[in-house]
Structure 1
Amino acid sequence: MRIADFPVPDTPAARGALELATQYQSAAITAHALRSWLWAEAFAHVDGITDIDHELLYVSAVLHDIGTVAEFDNHRISYEHAGGHVGVALTVGAGWPRRRRDRVLEVIVRHNWPSVDRALDAEGYLLEIATGLDISGARPNDLPEDFRREVLTTHPRGMLAAEFGSCVSDQAARKPDTAARRLVDGGIIGKLAANPLERLG
């Protein structure tokens, strides 16, 4: 398994998502988004999930934390809902039909669920377990070590643990009824520090 096995969709929506991410997010958060996409594609391979919308998965992965940046942070709704609406706006401009662009919102929101039923939402399931690996260190040995090393070399973790820990703590404090509060209460700060990817990369 190699990064080259998972080509980036060559579409206006995919290019736009990456442009938004790199313009507004820090390098560490954007690298996290790109690793999450690669982990999601790799988990689809190892879990035998073949019927997925690769463009939808890419756009959702790249934008899944964009609701945390100041320009898109919403004082009332969760960062995953805010980011999902950024994805909806982007894909309207890319000409996606209503149901497909609504799926961006669903997938981004569900990545913060405790778990997602793959039969309900394959892309949501893949993004949830992919971010679970990149943030909390879940299922690291289910992907080949050489692939993990290649991804971490191409998209280094940098200051992700400190940046994301601070970001989600801020979200939890300001919006205590959102998933950010559950993540903080569930020990996400410690999980970030203990993530085996920190030592592998």
Structure 2
Amino acid sequence: MIFHHSRRVFLFGSLHARARNLRPDPELLYISAMFHDAGLLFPFSGTPQRFELDGADHARSFLLDRGFPASAADLVWRAIALHTTPGIPGRMEPEVAATNYGVLTDAVGWELNSLESGRAEEIVSAHPRGDFKKEFLAVFVDGLKDRPDTTYGTVNADVLEHFLPGFRRTSMVERILDSPWPR
């Protein structure tokens, strides 16, 4: 399921980039797409940081171990680390923007109707969605349930709040009011 999702992210991101006259490096975009959810999976799901950082760290190491320049590894790191962050990736490098656009399209249908006619059907035919909504959310819950504090301030808290009994997100207001400052 994650493989097909990641391939769709690459393909949807590529289409959105072309429509916006962005020119991402296709190899770096592909690596960003393929690693973007790696942090939800074992062995990364047990670390005490956001899953996006786990995937970004893994992709960065993967690239550096294979002789890619640090600048390319850092660019992929940003694309993965920011792929769930609303509003910011679209103002960054083409690889960062396109990764985010591909994720948004495959996960929530963002701009699906603006894609070239027939392209979405072609992509889904090659990389089927199956019961994506249910399976994808289950992967999120499995990848985050043992590290719920890492979801603070992210859309990931939405998933745990919906599926994990007893989970309650902490708000910024609570963090300020409960800080050690007297006033």
Q: Judge same fold: TM > 0.5, yes or no.
A: yes
Gap regions ≥5 residues in structure 1: 1-27, 190-201
Q: Deviations over 1:112-146 (max 9, x none)?
A: 10123534222111111211110011111110231
| Residue range with higher mean Cα deviation, 75-84 or 158-167 | 158-167
Unaligned runs of 5+ in 2: 163-183
Distance 1:60 1:163, change over 3 A: same
* Residue of structure 2 equivalent to 1:33: 6
Aligned length: 161
Is the contact made by 2:41 and 2:143 (CA closer than 8 Å) also made in structure 1? no
* CA RMSD in angstroms, aligned pairs only: 2.3
TM-score by length of 2: 0.78
In structure 2, the residue matched to 1:45 is: 18
Distance (whole Å) between structure 2 residues aligned to residue 37 and residue 110 of structure 1: 15
CA distance in 1, matches of 2:142, 2:42: 12
1:45 partner amino acid = R
- Whether contact under 8 Å (2:36, 2:52) holds in the other structure is yes
- Aligned pairs (5 A) from 1:1-201: 28-50=1-23, 52-173=24-145, 174-178=147-151, 182-185=155-158
How far did 1:156 drift?
0.1
CA change 1:187–1:90 in 2 (3 A) is closer
Runs of 4+ in 1 over 6 A off after TM superposition: 186-189
One-letter identity of the residue aligned with 2:11: L
Letter in 2 for 1:152: V
Cα displacement (A) at 1:162: 1.5
Percentage of identical aligned residues: 25
2:116 and 2:10 map into 1 onto residues whose CA distance is 16
Give the distance between the partners of 2:40 and 2:30, measured in 1 at CA. 18
| Greater mean alpha carbon deviation, residues 161-170 or residues 141-150 | 161-170
